[in-house]
Amino acid sequence: IAGHEIIGKVVAKGSEVIKFNIGDRVGIGCQVSSCQKCEECTNGYDQLCPIKTFAYNDVWKDVNGNVTGYRAHGGYADRIRAQAEFTFHIPKEISSAEAAPLLCAGVTTFTPLKHHKIGPGKKVAVSGIGGLGHLGIQWASKLGAEVTAISH
């Protein structure tokens, strides 16, 4: 089942999950799990984890990378399973339509800015002011960087 940029409510949680409660409004991007232990994960590159699980058309794996048999059902499913680390609170002041793009395009543009410690005193050039570029401009500006937009 396809679908990412997922917004919904927590209907069940594991016994060790403390940052969410049943009924909380949350968002999930295109990745729903990683091992949290490999070199990639411990260095902040969980998207490169060899046993990561994507939100759709993927299968969950155990800590050794063996398929568990549980399929990852995308955002068009009635329910989806995700680790707490890949789940985000969505404030009630933000509509689902406003929040959803931040779970894909927003993450895509924010992650490199965070990785490169963009902030006051830094300069950022954004090539293209389309679906990703306009968010990159907003993120970099809010982080305090001097931003130059390049477009045709």
What integer pLDDT is reported at residue 77 of this predicted model?
87
Q: How far apart are CA 71 and CA 93, in angstroms?
A: 33
Of residues 38 and 4, more confidence is placed in: 38
pLDDT tens-digit map of 41-63: 999 889 899 999 999 889 888 88
Give the torsion sign (CA, 85, 15, 68, 39). positive
d(CA 132, CA 121): 23
Mean pLDDT (whole number) for 59-81: 86
φ, ψ at 6 (rounded to 5°): -90, 130
Return the pLDDT at 1.
67
Tell me the whole-structure pTM to 2 decimals: 0.82
- Domains, in order of start, for the chain: 1-95 (3.90.180.10), 104-152 (3.40.50.720)
Mean per-residue pLDDT, 88-97: 96
